[in-house]
């Protein structure tokens, strides 16, 4: 009993000493946990910053270059500030934007004025497609310029103004949508003229104004779905050199490669389809033009439409094909280094900017194709193109009684 009591007396100081130790540990966990957690999280944070773009900094100097952001594709170091400023003058972008907007607005007024004087269904449906093209170019310049031009004057920090990349995604969507629409509309117009010229007596080739506007709406809807693919997860839009605009990402990730190839191949297909349709239509018109056995009809309208179509096709080919080929070439060349390339080379960034500026010329020149290649202007340049009996029948052996039944609108719709 006495030994037990002595044991308890000796153990009490130990117990009293043990309690402060527990209190000290509890306090240390409250005050000392932060350094421990920081030490433990430092490698993880370094690992997260190493994902995506590695040691590369965002345009605003932060190291948050994660793979799911829209920043960090180009190197925005201070050493190239002067070079960036010299090639991205705000007055350059402003002048081009104003010229394009005024040109499209003037062409739209001329189109609306001409559409009220037409009785030909073929010509009126063609003007609907032209009107859709001009509206698309006008809105494309207006939307993109409203973001790009203020950047050149203000030089705002994208990561601060748009930390969630919503503005960048919108601008990238606009670039894809308003870029793909003119190519698809050009192919649609070429197809409409192809079937109208080569199947002039088929009622299925007759397109009313309402149907023409429906086709324009389908083109807009398809281009909208294409532009939304990066937002839905296939590829992504990223800030591009020199930091004033967003576009699809030319890096060898699976999603980016698929979307880049889809965008470029669809554009090339539209241009080639327009070339095939327009070539066949021009050859057909030339053959019928010299046919002596013909239905009496004015031919200046058909020539006017084909000249405008060929002009639109040539401009689209010159302005768009270099960019589309460049996208395919860049993506395919980087495929062997997939996972190792984390930013575009400087020369690639600059070439992409040059090709985008060439594409902008397409939106500026398109309205002038209609303004300059109207019937009145063509007749001044080519006086023999005057109202006279025309040749549109591809069937000289057609029954004469059937010919008399054919109205003007049923021929060459």
Residues 293 and 397: their CA atoms lie apart, in Å, by 9
Higher pLDDT, 116 or 156: 156
Tell how far CA 382 is from the center of its chain: 37
Q: Which long-range contacts (CB under 8 A, 24 or more apart) does 374-379 make?
A: 374/110, 374/114, 374/304, 375/300, 375/301, 375/304, 378/300, 378/303, 378/304, 378/307, 379/300
By C-alpha distance, which of 411, 385, 373, 367 is closest to 131? 367
pLDDT grade for 169, boundaries at 50, 70 and 90: very high
Of all helices (H) and strands (E), which one includes residue 374? none
pLDDT grade for 370, boundaries at 50, 70 and 90: confident
Transcribe 65-116 into DSSP letters: --TTSS--SS---GGGHHHHHHH--HHHHHHHHHHHHHHHHHHHHHHHHHHT
Task: Tell me what pLDDT residue 341 has.
Answer: 66
What is the domain partition of the chain in residue ranges? 89-395
The CB-side HSE value for 76 (13 A sphere, CA atoms) comes to 22
Residue whose token pair is 């939307």: 143
To the nearest whole number, what is the mean pLDDT of the chain? 74
Reading the block at residue 36, the tokens are 């421990």
Task: Tell me what pLDDT residue 383 has.
Answer: 60
Among the ranges 39-43, 100-104, 285-289, 402-406, which has the highest mean pLDDT value? 100-104
pLDDT grade for 26, boundaries at 50, 70 and 90: very low
Reading the block at residue 413, the tokens are 């719709």
Summarize the confidence of residues 191-215 as an average pLDDT: 78
Q: Is the pLDDT of residue 23 over 90?
A: no
Summarize the confidence of residues 331-352 as an average pLDDT: 80
Sign of CA dihedral 50, 54, 58, 63: positive
Task: Tell me what pLDDT residue 114 has.
Answer: 76
pLDDT above 70 covers what percent of the chain? 62
Summarize the confidence of residues 98-117 as an average pLDDT: 86
pLDDT grade for 205, boundaries at 50, 70 and 90: low
CA distances from 145 to 230, 236, 300 (A): 22, 21, 38
CA distances from 333 to 72, 262, 329, 338 (A): 21, 16, 6, 10
Task: Tell me what pLDDT residue 187 has.
Answer: 95
Task: Tell me what pLDDT residue 65 has.
Answer: 44
Among the ranges 4-8, 116-120, 223-227, 299-303, which has the highest mean pLDDT value? 223-227
Residue whose token pair is 């439409």: 305
Give the other-Cβ count within 10 Å of 32's Cβ.
11
Task: Tell me what pLDDT residue 382 has.
Answer: 61
Q: Is the pLDDT of residue 227 over 90?
A: yes
Q: Is the pLDDT of residue 52 over 90?
A: no
pTM beyond 0.75:
no
Q: Is the pLDDT of residue 160 over 70?
A: yes
10 Å CB burial of residue 89 (0-12, 13-18, 19+) is exposed
Higher pLDDT, 172 or 118: 172
Of all helices (H) and strands (E), which one includes residue 63? none
Q: What is the pLDDT of residues 279-328, one digit of tens each?
A: 999 988 888 766 644 444 445 677 778 888 999 999 999 999 999 999 99
Tell how far CA 126 is from the center of its chain: 24
Residues 207 and 95: their CA atoms lie apart, in Å, by 39
Q: Report whether 157 contacts 59 (CB < 8 A).
A: yes
pLDDT above 90 covers what percent of the chain? 33
Task: Tell me what pLDDT residue 20 has.
Answer: 42
Task: Tell me what pLDDT residue 78 has.
Answer: 41
Q: Report whether 191 contacts 296 (CB < 8 A).
A: no
CA distances from 365 to 133, 352, 372 (A): 12, 20, 10
CATH 1.20.1070.10 is the classification of domain 89-395: yes
Task: Tell me what pLDDT residue 118 has.
Answer: 60
């Amino acid at each position: 009993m006495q030994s037990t009591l002595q044991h308890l007396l000796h153990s009490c100081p130990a117990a009293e000493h043990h309690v402060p130790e527990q209190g000290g540990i509890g306090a240390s966990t409250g005050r000392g946990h932060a350094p421990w957690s920081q030490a433990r999280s430092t490698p993880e944070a370094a690992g997260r910053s190493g994902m995506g773009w590695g040691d590369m900094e965002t345009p605003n100097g932060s190291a948050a270059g994660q793979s799911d952001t829209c920043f960090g594709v180009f190197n925005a170091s201070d050493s190239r500030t002067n070079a960036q400023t010299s090639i991205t003058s705000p007055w350059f972008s402003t002048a081009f934007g104003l010229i394009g907007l005024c040109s499209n607005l003037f062409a739209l007024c001329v189109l609306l004025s001409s559409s009220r004087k037409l009785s030909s269904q073929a010509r009126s449906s063609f003007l609907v497609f032209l009107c859709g093209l001009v509206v698309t170019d006008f809105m494309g310049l207006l939307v993109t310029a409203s973001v790009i031009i203020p950047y050149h004057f203000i030089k705002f920090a994208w990561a601060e103004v748009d930390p969630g990349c919503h503005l960048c995604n919108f601008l990238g969507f606009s670039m894809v949508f308003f870029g793909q629409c003119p190519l698809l509309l050009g192919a649609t117009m070429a197809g409409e003229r192809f079937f109208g010229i080569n199947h002039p007596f088929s009622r299925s080739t007759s397109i009313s104004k309402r149907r023409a506007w429906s086709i324009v709406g389908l083109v807009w809807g398809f281009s909208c779905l294409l532009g939304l693919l990066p937002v839905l997860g296939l590829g992504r839009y990223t800030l591009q050199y020199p930091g004033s605009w967003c576009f699809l990402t030319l890096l060898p990730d699976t999603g980016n490669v698929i979307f880049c190839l889809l965008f470029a191949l669809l554009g090339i297909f539209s241009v080639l389809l327009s070339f095939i349709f327009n070539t066949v239509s021009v050859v057909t018109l030339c053959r019928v033009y010299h046919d002596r056995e013909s239905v009496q009809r004015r031919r200046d309208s058909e020539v006017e439409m084909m000249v405008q179509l060929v002009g639109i096709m040539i401009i689209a080919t010159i302005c768009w094909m270099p960019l589309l080929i460049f996208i395919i070439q860049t993506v395919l060349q980087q495929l062997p280094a997939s996972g190792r390339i984390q930013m575009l080379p400087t020369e690639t960034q600059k070439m992409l900017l040059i090709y985008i500026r060439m594409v902008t010329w397409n939106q500026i020149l398109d309205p002038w194709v209609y303004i300059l290649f109207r019937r009145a202007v063509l007749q001044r340049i080519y006086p023999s193109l005057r109202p006279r009996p025309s040749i549109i029948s591809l069937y000289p052996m057609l029954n004469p009684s059937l010919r008399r039944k054919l109205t003007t609108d049923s021929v060459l719709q």
